[in-house]
């Protein structure tokens, strides 16, 4: 087991190196070159040259790569062109927002997707099963931003039940030691603020989580249908175990493997979808940050943001792989 | 009927029909796939005959329609209402079908051709070339799809062609991996061994034996990729990275500013969005139907 984790960690090294090379090459492929990208479009010739000297852009390419790698590894992602603040500082504010949103969405999709898929498989061929199929088909066919707009229209604009934009009402002011607003509200012991943040989070999380929900329900259904007819399930039933125990220990545990695999794939979808969802709800996370950066041609932010999100994505996949190994006896034992 | 005739008939019944004809037969019996075909056929028809169907020009502005408030809803002369710039929404949605179809097909063509080339080379040659190419694909997959596309658009600049390339690029690793896996499975097949034994050239083995037999998962994925491409391009358009001429009737771009008018003119968001859903749904239904029809595990059960 430990060997497996170590091997997986080692496999991470070439991926991360490759990723850094890709981003390194990408900066050099930007229109006007990296110095121009750093300074913005209106930079003077002198300041471009100064930046090129300062960052060693006139040195050989391998020297440049090495210095890029070492500054990035030290956590220096440069300065935002628009705000003149270190990219890392902005990241610290933006990233928790996106993680809060993504985790909430993931929680929502798992909490409803797995039971739905399970129930559909158990009642195979009934109207519930058909409804779940139609639902999951719609789920993979609707763009996340359109779903977000729909939800916003129905629940915020038409029914006026939930707020339309932001993470917290402007009037509420709480300390943000972690920038995870739900956690911050709890730390401050302010239940009023907690409820407010929760209401702001609800619609974006449901919008972002619905598509993974549809996919997870579909995979769960297929996995349960597969497992249901296995010999060991029949044996368990034959020896008189209660249906509940068979469901929990024999069917669900084994159906969990493909479900965990698909959760890893959803992480990428969630991180991509967050960019769009945040835009619809003006949610101040990584997504709106990166989109603003594109519009302003704010390349340090783009570079840092993409690199960081990819790093998180790679780590999540590693985590999923390990989780997979933990629940899969074939890997766990060997 | 003589005995010989009866036997002949039996033989004909038992003769295995080809993979494709059988798949086609099963596809026709799948109600989901039929619905998919109808939706896609409608979508393609609208795209091709857009100038005949549209009641107005897609860029034609009539600001006098906006007197009072934004925006006049559906009416007899404007079936889907009028947008914030006084343009007929029905005509824009109709012309939008052209862009979405074009964008979907071109980006999948980009992803498919590059991905297939890489997958075929890696799968057939194996060895260190395979390792290098596949690690490269792993790296591309380590960036979440939309962010990779955003990065590419940032380097190339916003625009219609650029987002097609960007979305195509995100699909390259998917096709490459798929075809490589499929080829690895076919490479060891007896008929390939036989072809090699009689001295058929490497390239013609790849082109005439391995590729055709590895293609069915690629066709399924290709259909589903059309759906994803339409969604992804609409997403980039929605973020404002699409066609820089804002009068271009691209469905995603059309949705960009509509959230501001949700109170007064929700149809501005709902109608183009629904158009995206319907076309994507069509491709997904066909893709699912194809998957079932081509899956050898289902073969024989008509």
Q: Distance (Å) from the C-alpha of residue B117 to the closest C-alpha of chain A? A: 21
Instruction: Report yes or no: B136 at the A interface, CB cutoff 8 Å.
Output: yes
Taking contacts as CB-CB distances below 8 angstroms, the residues of chain A near B140 are 22
Q: How many whole angstroms separate alpha carbon A106 and alpha carbon A205? A: 8
Q: How many residue pairs from chains A and B have C-beta atoms closer than 8 A?
A: 131
Per-residue pLDDT tens listing for chain B (302 residues) = 455 555 545 444 444 556 677 778 877 888 888 888 999 898 888 888 878 877 777 777 766 666 666 667 677 666 677 776 767 778 888 888 888 888 889 999 999 999 989 988 888 788 888 888 888 888 888 888 888 888 888 888 788 888 889 999 999 998 998 888 888 888 778 888 888 888 888 888 877 777 777 777 888 888 888 998 999 888 888 888 877 777 778 888 888 877 777 777 777 788 888 899 999 999 999 888 888 887 655 554 43
Q: Hey, is B55 helix, strand or coil?
A: coil
> What is the ipTM for the molecules in this complex?
0.81
Answer whether B154 sits within 8 Å of A144, measured CB to CB.
no
Answer whether A157 sits within 8 Å of B153, measured CB to CB.
no
Q: How many CB atoms within 10 Å of residue A42?
A: 7
CB B38 within 8 A of CB B281: no
Q: Distance (Å) from the C-alpha of residue B40 to the closest C-alpha of chain A? A: 13
Six token digits for residue A278: 């945040």
* Residues belonging to chain A with any Cβ–Cβ distance to chain B shorter than 8 Å: 14-15, 18-19, 22, 26, 29-31, 137-138, 140-146, 149-150, 152-153, 157, 268-269, 271-273, 275-276, 279-280, 290-291, 294-295, 297, 299, 302, 306, 309-310, 313-314, 317
Answer whether A149 sits within 8 Å of B262, measured CB to CB.
yes
From residue B9, alpha-carbon distances to B1, B4, B16 in Å are: 10, 9, 13
Q: Residue B301: what pLDDT?
A: 43
Q: Residue B302: what pLDDT?
A: 37
Answer whether B284 sits within 8 Å of A309, measured CB to CB.
no
Nearest to B131 by CA among A14, A4, A63: A14
Instruction: Report yes or no: B31 at the A interface, CB cutoff 8 Å.
Output: no
| Confidence grade of residue A56 (pLDDT, cut at 50, 70, 90) | low
């Amino acid at each position: 087991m430990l060997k497996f984790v170590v091997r997986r960690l080692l496999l991470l090294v070439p991926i991360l190196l490759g990723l850094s090379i890709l981003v390194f090459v990408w900066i050099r492929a930007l229109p006007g070159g990296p110095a121009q990208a750093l300074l913005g479009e209106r930079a003077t010739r002198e300041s471009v040259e100064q930046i090129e000297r300062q960052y060693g852009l006139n040195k050989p390419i391998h020297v440049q790569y090495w210095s890029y790698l070492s500054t990035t590894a030290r956590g220096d992602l440069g300065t935002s062109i628009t705000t003149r603040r270190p990219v890392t500082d902005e990241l610290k504010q933006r990233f928790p927002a996106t993680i809060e949103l993504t985790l909430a969405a993931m929680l929502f999709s798992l909490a409803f997707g797995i039971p739905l898929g399970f129930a559909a498989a158990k009642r195979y061929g009934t109207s519930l099963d058909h409804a779940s199929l139609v639902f999951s088909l719609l789920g993979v066919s609707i763009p996340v931003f359109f779903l977000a707009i729909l939800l916003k229209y129905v629940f915020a604009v038409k029914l006026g039940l939930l707020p339309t934009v932001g993470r917290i009402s402007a009037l509420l002011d709480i300390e943000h030691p972690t920038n995870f607003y739900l956690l911050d509200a709890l730390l401050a012991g302010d239940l009023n603020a907690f409820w407010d943040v929760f209401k702001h989070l609800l619609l974006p999380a449901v919008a972002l989580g619905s598509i993974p929900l549809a996919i997870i329900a579909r995979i769960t259904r297929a996995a349960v249908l597969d497992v249901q007819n296995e010999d060991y399930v029949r044996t368990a039933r034959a020896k008189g175990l209660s249906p509940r125990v068979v469901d929990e220990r024999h069917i669900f545990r084994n159906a969990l493997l493909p479900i965990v695999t698909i959760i890893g794939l959803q992480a990428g979808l969630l991180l991509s979808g967050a960019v769009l969802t945040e835009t619809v709800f003006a949610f101040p996370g990584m997504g709106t940050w990166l989109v603003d950066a594109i519009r302003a041609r704010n390349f340090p932010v783009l570079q840092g943001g993409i690199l960081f999100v990819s790093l998180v994505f790679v780590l999540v996949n590693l985590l999923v792989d390990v989780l997979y190994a933990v629940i899969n006896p074939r890997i766990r034992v060997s | 009927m003589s005995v010989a005739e009866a036997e002949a008939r039996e033989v004909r019944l038992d003769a295995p029909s080809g993979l494709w004809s059988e798949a086609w037969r099963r596809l026709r019996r799948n109600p989901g796939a039929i619905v998919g075909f109808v939706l896609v056929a409608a979508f393609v028809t609208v795209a091709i005959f857009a100038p005949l169907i549209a009641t107005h020009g897609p860029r034609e502005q009539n600001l006098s329609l906006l007197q009072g408030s934004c925006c006049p809803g559906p009416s007899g002369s404007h079936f889907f209402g009028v947008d914030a710039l006084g343009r007929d929404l029905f005509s824009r949605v109709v012309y939008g079908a052209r862009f979405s179809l074009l964008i979907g097909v071109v980006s999948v063509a980009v992803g498919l051709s590059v991905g297939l080339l890489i997958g075929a080379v890696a799968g057939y040659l194996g060895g260190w070339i395979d390792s290098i190419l596949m690690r490269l694909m792993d790296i591309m997959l380590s960036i979440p799809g939309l962010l990779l596309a955003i990065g590419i658009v940032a380097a190339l600049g916003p625009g219609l062609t650029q987002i097609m390339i960007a979305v195509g690029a995100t699909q390259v690793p998917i096709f490459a991996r798929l075809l490589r896996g499929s080829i690895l499975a076919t490479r060891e097949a007896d008929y390939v061994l036989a072809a090699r034994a009689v001295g058929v050239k490497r390239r013609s083995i790849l082109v005439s034996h391995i590729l055709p037999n590895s293609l069915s998962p690629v066709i399924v994925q290709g259909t589903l990729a059309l759906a994803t491409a339409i969604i992804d391009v609409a997403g980039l358009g929605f973020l404002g990275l699409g066609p820089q001429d804002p009068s271009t009737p691209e469905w995603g771009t059309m949705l960009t500013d509509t959230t501001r008018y949700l109170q007064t003119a929700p149809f501005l968001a709902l109608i183009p969005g629904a158009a995206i859903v319907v076309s994507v749904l069509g491709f997904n239904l066909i893709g699912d139907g194809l998957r079932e029809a081509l899956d050898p595990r289902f073969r024989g059960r008509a």
